[in-house]
Amino acid sequence: WANHGGRPWWTPSASASYLEFGKRFPGADSNAPTCDLSQAVMPAAPTPLPAPASGLTLSHVAIGRGTQNYTCDLTNATAVPTATGAKATLFNVSCIAADTPDLLAKLPSIALDLPIPSSDDETSPAYQDMSGHHYFLDATTPFFNMDTTLHQYGTGQFKKSNGSNAPSDALLGTNNQGFGSVQWLKLDAKDSAGQVLQEVYRLNTAGGQPPKTCQGMPAAFEVQYSSEYWIWAQ
């Protein structure tokens, strides 16, 4: 990560935070850290999103790193990209959310400029810290599979409830080159009686927006993104 030294957020205090970040995730020989998630405070969206429903508790905070997926109708000269979902690997940052919120806010931008870690090796640090996966069952049904061989946080199908455009100073994309950051979202469970995970907030997004038109684009393409996911459970 030293190659990011030219970025404006790289300061001595940030360096100290990275050292703390590393200590919290020491790898296969340690248990996942525990902390008081009641102390974590979600960042406010530019257009405020509704608060979590009464009776829910914050269950997990993850950084998602993956792609937003789009298609283009190549037979239409004026076509615009159509969103078809997303896929991302989720990494546990719950204790950072509770204890070091300033660092948490920087992580989506940092993650976007880094390759997606391999999570296939169950002995690797990346696998130890992996919370699960996010993908779509169809174009309108985001799914969170938070169960792995090491951790069982739950699963759930969701639907979009509310959205807010990303801040005007959000990253344009990888290396700050691209078309902007996707919306901040609130997702609600499709069947609140059928799952423990009830609401998900996608916050502090980095990247993921497609070009405004399909000119020069293939029939299907991906745009790299990262974001925070705040997961609330009953």
**Is 21 inside any structural domain?**
no
* SS3 state of residue 234: coil
Name the β-bridge partners of 82.
Answer: 71
Which of 3-7, 140-144, 148-152 has the weakest average pLDDT?
Answer: 3-7
Position 119 scores a pLDDT of 62
User: Do residues 183 and 207 make contact, with C-beta atoms less than 8 angstroms apart?
Assistant: no
Q: Which of 2, 36, 32, 37 is nearest to 18 (CA)?
A: 2
Position 217 scores a pLDDT of 97
**Is 157 inside any structural domain?**
yes
**Is 30 inside any structural domain?**
no
User: Do residues 158 and 190 make contact, with C-beta atoms less than 8 angstroms apart?
Assistant: yes
Tokens describing residue 1? 């990560």
User: Do residues 225 and 208 make contact, with C-beta atoms less than 8 angstroms apart?
Assistant: yes
Look up the pTM and report it.
0.85
**Is 64 inside any structural domain?**
yes
Range list of H helices, 39-117: 94-99, 101-112
**Is 179 inside any structural domain?**
yes
User: Do residues 225 and 114 make contact, with C-beta atoms less than 8 angstroms apart?
Assistant: no
Domain residue limits at 132 = 56-233
**Is 195 inside any structural domain?**
yes
Residues belonging to the chain: 234
**Is 98 inside any structural domain?**
yes
pLDDT in tens, 43-81: 999 999 999 999 999 999 999 999 999 999 999 989 999
Beta strands in 57-196 (DSSP E): 57-71, 82-92, 130-138, 141-147, 152-164, 184-189
Sorting pLDDT into bands at 50, 70 and 90, what band is 126?
A: confident
pLDDT of 192 over the 60 cut: yes
Number of domains in the chain: 1
CA 179, CA 70: separation in Å to the nearest integer? 14
**Is 161 inside any structural domain?**
yes
Amino acid at position 118, single letter: S
